[in-house]
Copies of this chain bind each other. A is one copy, B any other.
Amino acid sequence: MSTSKYAECIRLCIECAQACEHCSDACLSEPNPSKMADCIRTDRDCAQICWDAAVFLSRGSQFSSEICHVCADICKACARECAKHKMNHCQECADCCRRCADACDEMASVAA
């Protein structure tokens, strides 16, 4: 795994974490946040695991592969949830989640 692959995965994890923080906050301001409860919950968990993956990768942790594996799973679930909603913040978050999931899947398969 090259250094640039690490850097790119970290970048996508941080991008996804920020998209999830933003989407979660924006969902709370929607006219009917009741419909967005699952999206808010998934965003919240996805943001946290993406920040964590960025931390583990930044440290060069021996557990980077394990964290990226679970991060990819949660990103995929979050992408599925966000994709159900037509708002820009949800659609953009879904895109970030898919990109992050791809990078984390690759990292999980080769790291450590």
Instruction: Please indicate the chain B residues that have their CB under 8 angstroms from the CB of A62 in the complex.
Output: 41-42, 45, 77
Q: Is A61 among interface residues, defined by CB-CB distance under 8 A?
A: yes
In the complex this chain forms, how many copies of it are found?
A: 4
Please state if B66 and A70 are interface contacts (CB–CB under 8 Å): yes
Quote the shortest CB–CB distance from A104 to chain B (angstroms): 13
- How far, in angstroms, from A48 to B40 measured CA to CA in the complex? 16
Binding site for B on A (CB under 8 A): 10, 14, 17-18, 21-22, 24-25, 28-29, 31-34, 37, 40-42, 44-45, 47-49, 51-52, 54-56, 58-63, 66-67, 69-70, 73-74, 77
Instruction: Across the A-B interface, give the 5 residue pairs with the lowest CB-CB distance, nearest first.
Output: A21-B58, A28-B37, A33-B33, A18-B58, A21-B59
